[in-house]
Amino acid sequence: MKPILAVASICLLYALSIPSQAKNVQLKGSVYAPQAGVICDKKAGFCADSEGIAVALTKMYLGDKAEKKLMDRIRPEPGVQDYDTTTFVLTNKVACDCKAKKCKVSKYEDKIDAAHTKALFGK
């Protein structure tokens, strides 16, 4: 019975450490990682995961007001069907491309921003 308890304890400690790893990543400005694979920009008013800007995550981490502002930006133009959520620039100038699975220090430079890339894509 004791080996099962030990294995369960190790699994629990590992599971608890995963979200905290994202919080330990140092991001710039008003950008933070509330959990592994998610970054939020308080100033810009949105959150994103590895698939792109996410309305549900924005609501979860930044609240109803941020969700409404994000939806107001999407509608009526260009409209949900034409709004590209897979590429975005954060207020700290870091540019992320979810299709390429990388964040660059700016949209004008090819240099990878390791902290943001790791926080968002885990690599």
pLDDT digits (tens, 9 = 90+) for 52-109: 999 999 999 999 999 999 888 877 665 556 678 899 999 999 999 999 999 999 999 9
pLDDT of residue 27: 87
Whether the Cβ atoms of residue 81 and residue 106 lie closer than 8 Å to each other: no
Report in angstroms the alpha-carbon separations of 104 from 19, 38, 50, 112.
23, 16, 15, 4
Q: Is 66 exposed, middle or buried (0-12, 13-18, 19+ CB in 10 A)?
A: buried
Question: pLDDT tens, 23-46?
Answer: 445 688 899 999 999 999 999 999
pLDDT for res 96? 96
